[in-house]
Amino acid sequence: MEGNDPNAPLLTQPAATPKRKNTLLIVVLIVLAVIVCICLAVVVVLALLGPAVGNVFSNIILTVEPVP
């Protein structure tokens, strides 16, 4: 009866390593940080270019003559 030997080493499955969970968490956080940075960059670019784009449309409206 080998299974009842108290001195036999226990053969159990190793628990899930926390290193893998930490790696996944770091990857998710990096992806979220990149997405947030891209969103902020888009907002800044739109804020800077907004008046210029508005002026283009205003000039088009002012220069278009009404159709008789």
For the question of whether the overall pTM of this predicted structure is more than 0.75, the answer is no
Going through the chain in order, the beta strands assigned E by DSSP cover none
Cα 16 from Cα 22, distance rounded (Å) = 11
| Structural domains of the chain, count | 1
pLDDT tens track for 14-63 = 665 667 788 999 999 999 999 999 999 999 999 999 888 888 888 888 88
Look at residue 8 and tell me if it is in a domain.
Answer: no
Structural domain range at position 37: 18-45
Q: Is residue 2 part of a domain?
A: no
pLDDT number for residue 45? 94
What are the two backbone dihedrals, phi and then psi, of residue 12, each rounded to the nearest 5 degrees? Answer: -125, 160
Would you say 8 and 2 are in contact if contact means Cβ atoms under 8 Å apart? yes
Is 26 part of a structural domain of the chain? yes
